Amino acid sequence: MRARVLIRPKEGILDPQGQVVERALPALGFAGVSEVHVGRLVELDVEDPGRLPEMCERLLTNPLIEDYEIETVSS
């Protein structure tokens, strides 16, 4: 099964990448943009998607500073 793990900085933690992007967009003429956050995407094929949360907790994310969301796509 194909899976996607969306990883984002935890709310309330300073996200300098998001801030830089938020400042850069208006400079290019894209007005009305706020609350920008930059995270990471991990895509993987897994035999047992039930083990994805454990993979996230132990390696793919640092739960102290990051939140994650798992999406599975049956192909």
Q: In terms of CB distance, is 10 or 49 closer to other proteins?
A: 10
**Distance from C-alpha of 25 to C-alpha of 31, rounded to nearest angstrom:** 7
**Shortest CB 65 distance to other proteins, Å:** 5
Q: Which of 70, 53, 51, 75 is nearest to 7 (CA)?
A: 70
- Quote the DSSP letter at residue 51: G
**Shortest CB 62 distance to other proteins, Å:** 6
Token pair recorded at residue 21: 């992007």
* Residue numbers at the binding site for other proteins (CB under 8 A): 13-14, 16-17, 20, 59-60, 62, 64-65
Q: In terms of CB distance, is 50 or 58 closer to other proteins?
A: 58
